[in-house]
Chain A
Amino acid sequence: MASISNRKRYNMRISGLGGQGVVTSAHILGSCMDNAGKYASLVPFFGSEKRMAPVEAYVRASTEPIYEVGEVVYPDIIMIYHSQVVTHGKSYTMPFYTGLKKDSLVIINTDVDVLEEEDIIVLNRLNARVVQFNATELALKIAGTELATNMAMMGMLLGLTKLVTEDDIEKAVRERFLGNSFVASGGTASLDSAIEKKFKKKEELLAKNMEVINKTFELADGIDLMGSELIINLEV
């Protein structure tokens, strides 16, 4: 597989369900890239804003200015936060890998194989790599809440691609949870206070999130994207 880590421009598409923190993690990803001195922009796309409804967010990062906005039609990286995006078609683009570029990366939050035979044919033709791991279980295990699923997904992406340093990430996570300038929607605000209640202090929340991210970095280190396997399953 051609390396995913030295492209001029990364177009990422993140698909998940309402409440999983798709938009929040897209925000943090964008901030990481910005911290790392890259040009970055992100666009969330909402349909009906409610739990379990499809949500998609798009992050662009580049070494040169980015003009384009809107949906990422031709992604280099796709992240699937919930297997229902694949199995129930809860995706704005069907099938979920529509537009995927050659030699690209897909990360799916699942511990069972969710790809159909025809998906595998297409993804093989594109020379893609599909990393599957149970991000929700990892989040539960380490942070004690499935609300950290998005951190596990984001950590896995950054661990595999090494697009930014761990310092860039920590700074972005800190800004997101300890800053007070972020409003995504009323729903996100109430979700935030729910998370905060779970962790007595915001610092504790930050530490748990970073712990999840660090664990995914360890897991990512054991993966060889240059190998010949299409699907790489990780035990958490």
Chain B
Amino acid sequence: MSIKDMTKEKNWSGQKLVSTDYLLFEAPREKHFMTGSEVTKEAIKRCTVDASVSYPITPQSEAAHLIGELWAEGYVGMYFRGENEFGVMSEVAGCAMAGARTVTTTSGPGTLRAMENFPMWSGTRIPVQLILMARGINSPLTIQPDNLEVTFMLETGCMIWYAENVQELFDMTIAAFTVAEMPDVHVPIVTVVDGFFVSHTREAVMLPADDIALHPYDPYAAPLPPIDSEMPPGRFLRDPFVMKSNYISYATHASWQWEVRSAVDRSRPYARHYLNGLAHVTGDEDAEIVFVACGTASNQAKEAHRELAKQGIKSKVVKLRTIRPFPHEELLAATKSAKYIFVPEFNIVGWLDKEVTQSLYGKSEAKIIGRPRVAGGMSMPVESILQEVFENTNAKGA
């Protein structure tokens, strides 16, 4: 089995090549009962992935281990363990620059250790996928779910998508390669889930058969040509402009930074198609009480909506599926009826609250309440959301 075994119809492991639309929307599906880690393996298995580099850190270790199994089973072209997360993120960059479809996974302290690499990824326009299983940031030491690390990722120039549950993780992982590799987008993508709450939660998930997979990545459609025997990695890496003249350096850097962010913006129509929208809205359309959330917090908000409905109180949940690009239009449209916007979060700083407040500034009259916030890995009981609602609005709880 090698890349030479690839034909127009089948990849090197013999899976039939299909379009992303077919894989996501048309292929028949069957029910399985799986964890987020296991479903990561199932998604990668169907993506004709060339390379993956791993480093163990809770809670993503199982996902990384299972991608390794895919290599052993002949589905992933190359797989090895890096020295640490900085090494891993550098090595996946090397793989991607050489034209490989590349994926890796990490969590919390691993993300921070690797941080220098993420703006380098977006600056070199490599469509790497990082599956981030969020965990707390030290100190004190924690291995538990807390998504503070996402705030560090927001301005790296990478796309950031947020999956709510095991099913979304599967579908998003597949869509992520496709959108990131669009020639007019072509930036790295970070697919985030809350560690443990998704990585270790076992639930029902619908999967297509595993004898079909995405068409391989075409690196020659990339905005920067891949490395080959004649082409060094990114001209500006080998031969930086700062060595020529400061003026050229300023101009290039500024315009390229702008271009990277424009590229992220250009992903909107593709993401709308493959994700069925950048935001999902559930609940009462005309509700004055609106929860804006992403990931696991939107699960908890949906339970809160159900409890409020039992008491005759209208509410709705706006689940943001992309954070970069930020779904400004979708958020504004979905919060038109809002008098109160609650932003429940699994971190201490309220990064989503800041994003929502900034996005709606001058456009919405609603009072934005960045609560409840839980941190350090604790759960967010529905009761804590209801308490915020009763304390901050005129809704009366039973």
Interface residues of A (CB under 8 A from B): 27, 30-31, 34, 39-47, 66-71, 73-74, 181-186
Contacts and interface: CB of A to CB of B under 8 A. Distances in A.
Contacts of B62: 183-185
Given A67-B303, A68-B303, A185-B62, A43 B382 contact: no
B38 A46 contact: no
Contacts of A30: 33, 202-203
A103 B299 CA distance: 27
A43 B37 contact: no
Contacts of B299: 67-69
Which 6 A/B pairs are nearest by Cβ-Cβ distance? Answer: A70-B379, A67-B302, A71-B379, A41-B203, A67-B299, A73-B381
Contact of A70 (B66, B143, B197): B197
B381 A69 contact: no
Contacts of A34: 33, 204
Interface in B24-50: 33-34, 37-38
B76 interface: no
Nearest to A92: B378
Given A41-B203, A69-B299, A183-B62, A31 B33 contact: yes
Nearest to B37: A183
Contacts of B58: 46
Interface of B: 33-34, 37-38, 58, 61-62, 65-66, 143-145, 165, 196-198, 200-204, 296, 299-300, 302-303, 306, 378-383
Contacts of B306: 67
B203 A40 contact: yes
A236 to B, nearest CB: 30
Contacts of B37: 183
B38 A42 contact: no
A43 B201 contact: yes
Contacts of A73: 379, 381, 383
A10 to B, nearest CB: 15
Nearest to A99: B381
B197 A43 contact: yes
Given A40-B204, A183-B65, A69 B302 contact: no
Contact of B198 (A40, A69, A183): A69
Contacts of A31: 33
Given A68-B382, A69-B198, 19 more contacts: A30-B203, A34-B204, A39-B204, A41-B202, A43-B196, A43-B202, A45-B144, A68-B299, A68-B300, A69-B296, A69-B299, A69-B379, A70-B296, A70-B378, A73-B381, A74-B383, A181-B34, A181-B38, A183-B66
Chain B CB within 10 A, most for which of A39, A43, A46, A70: A70
Nearest to A182: B38
Contacts of A40: 33, 203-204
Most B CB contacts (10 A, CB to CB) among A44, A66, A183, A186 go to: A183
A30 B204 CA distance: 10
Contact of B196 (A39, A41, A45, A68): A45
Nearest to B69: A183
A39 B145 CA distance: 24
Contact of B202 (A27, A39, A70, A186): A27
A46 B204 contact: no
Contacts of A183: 37-38, 62, 65-66
